[in-house]
């Protein structure tokens, strides 16, 4: 009996160390998962803020298009034309949405909180078309539809987030 007691004396230490190693691995894994979930939540919050900012800019552009006088689409004040690629007029040179330092965007009127930069938009005008379903009465002018492409970009809480939304708008 004495011999087996002396052989097992060190086993308690080995088993305890193995259990401590397993607990350390489980705790480390739990911390990594917690950190990852916190990052995911932060990125989601940032993305939602940027999306809401872009939507606010798009709504303001639609409000502008509902006004009586739109002005001239000459490449100023965020008003551009959609032209053929060979057309080099300033009115056809809309800024790239991906270049954050590009000029020609219109900022929103209200100051949105919790965003890194205020959202912006541009409006591009398509060629006007006549209503193909209109009656061809001799004394009635044809309805003309004007189509616009609204591009709005919003920024989130951090400087790394950018959401771009586009919508088409018809005005007659």
42-51 tens-digit pLDDT: 999 999 999 9
The per-residue DSSP string of 117-172 comes to S--EEEEEEPPPEE-TTS---TTSPPPEEEEEEEEEEEE-SSTT-EEEEEEEEEE-
- Measured CA to CA, the distance from residue 146 to residue 73 in angstroms comes to 13
In this structure, of 91-105, 120-134, 143-157, the range with the lowest mean pLDDT score is 120-134
| Cβ contacts of 106 within 8 Å, gap of 6 or more | 61, 77, 78, 120, 121, 122
Q: What is the pLDDT of residue 130?
A: 76
Q: What is the pLDDT of residues 133-169, one digit of tens each?
A: 777 776 777 778 889 999 999 999 988 899 999 999 9
Tokens standing for 99?
A: 């270049």
What is the value of pTM for the model shown?
0.76
For residue 158, CA distances in Å to 34, 128, 154 come to 21, 40, 11
Are 119 and 111 in contact by the 8 Å Cβ rule? The answer is no
Is residue 1's pLDDT more than 70? no
């Amino acid at each position: 009996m004495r011999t087996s007691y002396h052989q097992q004396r060190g086993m308690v230490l080995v088993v305890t160390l193995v259990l401590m190693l397993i607990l350390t691995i489980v705790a480390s894994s739990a911390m990594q998962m917690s950190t990852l979930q916190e990052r995911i939540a932060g990125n989601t919050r940032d993305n939602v803020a940027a999306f809401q900012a872009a939507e606010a800019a798009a709504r303001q552009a639609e409000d502008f298009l509902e006004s009586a006088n739109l002005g001239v689409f000459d490449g100023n004040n965020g008003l551009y034309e959609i032209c053929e690629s060979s057309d080099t007029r300033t009115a056809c040179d809309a800024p790239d949405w991906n270049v954050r330092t590009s000029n020609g965007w219109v900022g929103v009127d209200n100051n949105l909180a919790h965003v890194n930069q205020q959202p912006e938009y541009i409006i591009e005008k398509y060629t006007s078309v006549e209503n193909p379903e209109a009656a061809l009465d001799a004394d009635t002018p044809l309805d003309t539809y004007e189509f616009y492409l609204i591009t709005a970009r919003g920024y989130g809480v951090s400087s790394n987030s950018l959401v771009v939304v586009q919508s088409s708008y018809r005005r007659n």
